[in-house]
Amino acid sequence: MWNKYHVNKVCVPGGRLALVALIVVLFGILPHRVALGQDVSETDPQIERPTVALVLSGGAAFGIAHVGVIRVIEEIGLPVDIVVGTSMGAIVGGLYATGYDSADLGRLVADVDWDTMFSDSLPRSLYHYRARLASEHYFAGTTFDSGGLRAGGGLLRGQNISALLDRLTFGIPADIQFDDLPRRYRAIAADILTGEQVVLDSGSIADAMRASMNIPGLFDPFQLGGRKLVDGGIVNNLPVDVARSLGADIVIAVETLEQLADYEALSRSPLVSLDQATRILVEANMQLQRESADLLISPDLSGLSSSDFSRYDELSKRGELAAREAQDELNALAARLGQDPARASAPVPGYVISYPAGRVVHITDVRVRGGTEADAEAALQLFSRYIGRAVRGTDLSDAVDALYSLGRFDLVRARVVDDENRQAVLLVRLTPVERGQHRVQIGMNYFGSLSSTARSTVVLTPNVTLTNLSGEGSNLSLTASLAGSNGIEIEYFQPFAVNAYLRPIAGYLFSFDEFFTSSNVVVRHRNREAVAGVDLGVVVRRFGELFAGYRLRWFESPIPAAETSMISTERFDETIGAVLLGAGVDTRDSRHFPMSGGSARARYTTANPRLGGEVEYQLLQFDADLFVPVRDNASLGAVVLGGTDFTTGEFQQEIPRTYRSFTVTDPRLFVVYDEEPFFGRHKLMAGLEARVRIRRADSFFGEGMFVSAHANAGNAWRSLPQSAGEFDLRWSGALGVGLRLNAGMGIVLRAGVADGDQPFAAVNAGSFGY
């Protein structure tokens, strides 16, 4: 695929290279002033004017300033024959080389969801329902195999950024010489194994851009041409010398870099010192390059951060301002070249593309590379529909995302290549997951409340999952409960047929309930439970499931006292054999602080001595929520939950056992704990919620910060009310603020009033799921 690449040996000392691999922020160094242009002379007798090169540095979000510089170059009418870039400069430069103009680039940086680009996550709705259940209860984890833990070479694989670059360059064959582009192009990367500079000059332009911006530590090393490549900024962040080697007579260089941190900033965090060391390393490779440029443009980026992708408009304007400050030199250069502005700034004919329409390609065949036969079959099922059709890159997004959401691949790429007859073939390249097949992860759930009584509980849930033991998708999961409760649950998940599964389970749980009496005496009671059973289920599309199951349970727990509703000193010991019927659906955009979509769960349990137990009862439990967006960052939600015990006859109990009873207290809707808790046979609660996202994702606030207002009502009853007046509702209202840190971790603080006169405060942290 890659016909050649020039290698200039630029050795990086081993210690520094190891340091670079730890850095997970994008590169930036101290800006310098504009240098004066040098005399222009024509050196190539085969063209009528000198060759002009544009060299664009790395700098993460600062690289968006390149767009503003290009805007001024186009206005002046300077011809650009060669584009050479590093990191973000390679992306902006690569798109410019293919025919994108400054207007295209401006729209692109405004439209891209940059939070998603620096993530491997897809929209939640694309993931399989069971996969979400298996992963969203854990906030951290890694993979392992027989050789030990395998954390990988980076935090991310880079699927989303790779898919974006594939879309933006769709229609350009993945096996071309970059000299054949409208503007000659080179991207700079570094070989992480040797420290060598790698000049990418052929193959896939999307791969070249991707390799050049492959930030060490943040992304896995990018495999290309037998090399492990990372961001070229560590070897040549301003590659003026590469432009000269291509015959450039005039080089306009743009550096978009960050000020070095002062001592006060360095003393705040060791990460700042690590970042500073990287900047110094990159600065060392730029000093001679600046001196070699004919014109150096350095935008003033003070007050901005290299992670400020959301401030794309300001960044572009800073670049434009710097170019206008150098406009006298640019005008003089244009005059010396003697070019007509309208003609000089247009690219030469070739694979010209634009944004957002892109190129349309007529697909004659689909081929799959990488993965197993089953992987290839799955890919062909998704992509074969494009054969014989005129396709744009954006048309492939759904198929790419659907294949990636299976969880079997680090990367899924779709691009065009020419076959032996020069016909356009869609090549789907799969990179199977290289990390260990198995997972170790940890979750937690903390809940605390303060009202007339105080209560808190925390449960840690470490998990080990062994995957693909009896076919694709099968797994053995072992989950422990620690701290507030102690236990273990073992389950085996075996898919079969189409979307069907068998799930045997077994577990044991030892827990305590704490209650506060009116005299502030803490009453602590022990509960023990053992369970074994099996479920047979079917997943309905990606969003839900239906299942039937059998459970054999053993309980030992206190019996609620009849008169006071408090837990008594008497205990019961019962075995229950039961059949379960259940259903679930979840279309929410997030498990924590959803802004759109809804979820619902229902479970019906019927226990009978003929099923292996000692008691008979029928129990229905349900919960549902729905969230409707009303603005970009605001939504309204409704929640309902409840249950009822249908048991009649000799097994009906005035005060039911704790395993089939309901209390008013609920960590979502009614957090106040009664001094004398009430255990009922029926429960119904509902709530309304208004939620606003006040901050989007960043390194500190995770996936977003939210504020909310809540109004709730409900109760639990020993017997069903016979009229509306007997419902005796309890009320609560609260204001809250929360953080969504990742899919398995959220934090929410709430303060409010219950029943009109009970102030309360509550905190949830972990995988609480609302």
**What are the residue ranges spanned by the domains of the chain?**
5-38+49-120+157-344, 361-432, 442-766
Q: Which residues contact 208 (CB under 8 A, 6 or more apart)?
A: 90, 94, 178, 185, 187, 189, 200
Q: Say what the pTM is.
A: 0.76
Taking residue 173's Cβ as centre, other Cβ atoms within 10 Å add up to 20
Output the six-digit token pair for 392: 């744009």
pLDDT of residue 743: 83
Fold classification of 442-766 (topology level) = Porin (2.40.160)
Q: What type of residue sits at position 474? A: S
Q: What type of residue sits at position 435? A: R
pLDDT band at 51 (very low <50, low <70, confident <90, very high): very high
pLDDT of residue 46: 44
Over residues 482-489, the mean pLDDT reads 88
Over residues 609-628, the mean pLDDT reads 92
Fold classification of 361-432 (topology level) = Ubiquitin-like (UB roll) (3.10.20)
Angle at 44 between CA 43 and CA 47, to 5 degrees: 130
Q: At what angle do helices 373-383 and 397-404 cross, to 10 degrees?
A: 150
Mean pLDDT is lowest, of 145-149, 202-206, 353-357, 382-386, for 353-357
pLDDT of residue 274: 62
- The number of residues making up the chain comes to 770
Angle at 132 between CA 154 and CA 622, to 5 degrees: 155
pLDDT band at 565 (very low <50, low <70, confident <90, very high): very low
Q: 């694709």: which residue's tokens?
A: 472
pLDDT in tens, 57-85: 998 899 999 999 999 999 998 999 999 99
pLDDT band at 695 (very low <50, low <70, confident <90, very high): confident
Asked whether the beta carbons of 580 and 548 are under 8 A apart, the reply is yes
pLDDT band at 564 (very low <50, low <70, confident <90, very high): very low
Q: Is the pLDDT of residue 17 over 50?
A: no
For residues 159 and 142, give the distance between their C-alpha atoms in angstroms, rounded to a whole number: 18
* Residue 148: C-alpha distances to residues 21, 138, 143, 436 (Å): 21, 20, 9, 8
pLDDT of residue 267: 56
pLDDT of residue 347: 57
For residues 320 and 71, give the distance between their C-alpha atoms in angstroms, rounded to a whole number: 7
Asked whether the beta carbons of 707 and 736 are under 8 A apart, the reply is yes
Over residues 681-700, the mean pLDDT reads 83
Which residues in 223-249 are b (16+ Cβ under 10 Å) and which e?
ebbebbbbbbbbbbbbbbbbbbebebb
Provide the 8-state DSSP code for 270. H
pLDDT in tens, 434-477: 755 788 999 999 988 888 777 788 889 999 999 888 888 889 99
Q: What percent of the chain has pLDDT over 90?
A: 45
Cite the beta strand spans of 171-225 per DSSP E.
176-177, 184-191, 197-200, 202-203, 217-219, 222-224
Q: What is the mean pLDDT of the chain?
A: 82
pLDDT in tens, 30-43: 233 333 333 333 33
pLDDT of residue 19: 34
Asked whether the beta carbons of 509 and 515 are under 8 A apart, the reply is no
Q: Quick one: 739 exposed, middle or buried, by C-beta within 10 A (0-12, 13-18, 19+)? A: buried
Where does 5-38+49-120+157-344 sit in CATH, by number?
3.40.1090.10
DSSP three-state, residue 45: coil
pLDDT of residue 290: 86
pLDDT band at 220 (very low <50, low <70, confident <90, very high): confident
Output the six-digit token pair for 687: 């709530």
pLDDT of residue 717: 84
Q: Is the pLDDT of residue 13 over 50?
A: no
Q: Is the pLDDT of residue 716 over 80?
A: yes
pLDDT of residue 118: 81
pLDDT band at 275 (very low <50, low <70, confident <90, very high): low
Q: How are beta strands 250-254 and 295-297 bridged, if at all?
A: parallel
Over residues 237-261, the mean pLDDT reads 88
Output the six-digit token pair for 594: 């959803």
pLDDT in tens, 490-515: 999 999 887 899 999 999 998 876 65
Output the six-digit token pair for 745: 């971790």
